[in-house]
Chain A
Amino acid sequence: MLKLLRVRGRSMLPGLAPGDYVLATRLGGRPRAGARVIAEHPQYGTLIKRLSHWDERGCCHLLSDHHEGLSSEQMGALPAEVLYGRVIACIRQS
């Protein structure tokens, strides 16, 4: 299933700016490190982030592209279920 979302915030700059749209698909399997993902974070809500890596316990770690964004440490190790989808297209404002 496809989902269209609007980006809020600056943590995915320079690739995605606030007001850009992204098209996300539900995950078929585990997205690879480096993929842009949509996650339902227990604390921060719906996030768009970069998948950093999977750890040995099977938890995923997320990254912001921009240094001002939430850090990996702030977001923590997350169970795979928080990943809602993978970004397959970006529709940028400019």
Chain B
Amino acid sequence: MALHRLIQRLEQALPLPEASAHCDIPCKIYDPAVAQINALTVIRMMDLIAELGEKDSLSLADHAQLARLTQQKEEHALKVKEEVRVIWGDYFKQPQFDQVEGVHDLVHKVMLQGSKCKQGIDRAEGVALLALVNQFAEAFWTTKGVATYTATCPYPPSESVVYPKLEG
């Protein structure tokens, strides 16, 4: 359109303000790493809570610390659920569903396990959550045609994490 071109030229000399048709754009940036790190955090919080539990008695400061650890454990368990839900809901479409058998069931299991981790402080539940999120990460990388490997994360809680093999 001629008028559009004219304004475009005008704009080179005189930049116009923008009106944002702000958008929840499908930006195509999805990575299960965020969910995995959140699951590791859940386990770490459980470990720190267990450490507090070894004390004979808790000071007021310990109680405050316990409250913080519990709150962070629950927050990160919820983040695991959110992250996995978004990848499953926004990124996965029929072609990805066809590539990963049983992904709906797996995602549902993550939801239930995430809630379990919010409810309790049993480390085994946290490890089970990480295992499910690792499975989900493996499924995600399968759809990307990226191979994976399992390694122990080089920081506490030093648990097994599925990583994408991006080199070579």
Residues in chain A within 8 A of chain B (CB atoms): 3-13, 16, 18, 20-22, 24, 38, 44-49, 64, 66, 68-70, 91-94
Contact = CB atoms under 8 A, between A and B. Distances in A.
Nearest to B17: A5
Interface of B: 1, 3-4, 7, 11, 16-26
B21 A92 contact: no
Contacts, number: 82
B23 A68 contact: yes
A25 B22 CA distance: 21
Contacts of A18: 21
Given A9-B21, A47-B21, A4 B1 contact: no
A10 B25 CA distance: 8
B21 A64 contact: yes
Contacts of B11: 6
A22 B7 contact: no
Given A10-B25, A46-B17, A68-B26, 18 more contacts: A3-B17, A5-B18, A6-B17, A6-B18, A7-B19, A9-B22, A10-B23, A11-B23, A20-B4, A21-B4, A21-B7, A45-B22, A47-B19, A64-B23, A66-B21, A68-B24, A70-B22, A91-B4
A70 B4 CA distance: 27
A28 B19 CA distance: 20
29 contacts: A3-B17, A5-B18, A6-B17, A6-B19, A7-B21, A8-B18, A9-B23, A9-B25, A10-B21, A10-B23, A11-B22, A13-B21, A20-B4, A21-B7, A38-B19, A46-B18, A48-B19, A48-B21, A64-B21, A66-B23, A68-B25, A69-B22, A69-B24, A70-B23, A91-B3, A91-B7, A92-B1, A92-B4, A93-B4
B89 to A, nearest CB: 14
Contact of A11 (B4, B17, B18, B21): B21
Contacts of B16: 4-6, 21
A35 B19 CA distance: 15
Contacts of A22: 19
Given A6-B11, A21-B7, A44 B22 contact: yes
B21 A91 contact: no
